Amino acid sequence: MTVPPEQRAAVVPDGGLLAVHAHPDDETLATGALLATWARAGLPVTVVTCTRGERGEVIDTPAHPTGVAHLEGDGPALAAHREGELARALAALGVRDHVFLDAVALPGNDGAARPRYEDSGMAWVAPGVAGGVATEQLPPRAFVGVPLDEAAARLAAVVRERRPAVVATYEPGGGYGHPDHVRAHEVTVRALDQVAAAGEPVPDLWLSVAPESAVRAARRALAEDAQVAALLAADERLTLPDPDEDLPPFARADETLGTLRAVPVAPVLDAVLAAMRAHATQVQHATAAERGTAASLGWYALSNDVLAPLPSHEFYAPSGGALPGAPARPRPTR
């Protein structure tokens, strides 16, 4: 890991953890080590998922045969399948408490209908960076179109019930730009604002980020691994990310970051890999390196067929205060 000691603080689980994610698989890819570390400590862990990933692409190739390519484009069927994947991934991580956001009753409206929040879809706009689709292509209950206060009120209800010490989600750019990820960040911030406005205990907010130097070092380690070279030769679909290209929003210039919370992946690597493999329609080639490095412990690929390093650490900006221009949130009062 290239991040200097003065810029990182080891995570010591304390109190409950609640993670907010846009789709099934995001809990593993963005916060898998955090969730597994917290669960291994025997503390309460809750995952809130905002949609069921109805519009996700499906991986089904000769090198990664899932036999379910027909589910792509069939929203209800793919949603049901991904619910099963999510359940298996959470079990691998040791998470026992899961909530779909649209299943939460609005305060004072327990008997009201609860329309499902749907995956809004995305388009690749640059290597590793996503953007939204045209408005006319959005489903009727696309998550990006749900009123912010409505979605936030549901999440605030979960926060009040679980009373976590920490809430984790994406940074403002949604990690890699997916509009549902951006919306999940907005909903999380608004929900905590609602909790604070009511004079109730406010959890600490941790945003998933990574120093640019760590991301580039992990990509270079990937390119130098002999196992990766053999994999690329065996599966011509796969490519490597460019260590020098522009990075997605979660990667921040080192000099702009304050002290980050650092979660080592190695102690929970088996759990994280098992959870990745559970999401077989979305994740392929999840592998531990025979010789991990200080930057990378393995790799995986999504439907874009670009290998991504499995970093040695996850990093979190506490309460946004480690991000440039972001106001620090109130400290929890619990």
Position 219: which residue type? Answer: R
How would residue 333 be classed by pLDDT, with cut points 50, 70 and 90? very low
Q: State the pLDDT at residue 320.
A: 61
Helix 148-162 vs helix 179-197: crossing angle, to nearest 10: 60
Residue 321 has pLDDT above 90, yes or no: no
The answer to which of 51-55, 107-111, 140-144, 312-316 has the lowest mean pLDDT is: 107-111
190 close to 153: Cβ distance less than 8 angstroms: no
Main-chain phi, psi angles of 19, to 5 degrees: -115, 135
How would residue 327 be classed by pLDDT, with cut points 50, 70 and 90? low
Q: State the pLDDT at residue 39.
A: 98
Residue 62 has pLDDT above 80, yes or no: yes
Average pLDDT over residues 324-334: 51
Q: State the pLDDT at residue 334.
A: 41
Average pLDDT over residues 72-80: 97
The answer to which of 111-120, 204-213, 272-281 has the lowest mean pLDDT is: 111-120
Q: State the pLDDT at residue 112.
A: 65
Q: Give the span between the Cα atoms of 51 and 122, in whole angstroms.
A: 14
293 close to 177: Cβ distance less than 8 angstroms: no
Q: Which two tokens stand for residue 182?
A: 């951006």
Residue 332 has pLDDT above 50, yes or no: no
Average pLDDT over residues 140-158: 96
Q: Give the span between the Cα atoms of 280 and 294, in whole angstroms.
A: 27
Average pLDDT over residues 19-31: 98
Read off the pLDDT of residues 38-47 as tens digits, 9 standing for 90 and up: 999 999 999 9
Give me the chain's average pLDDT, please. Answer: 92
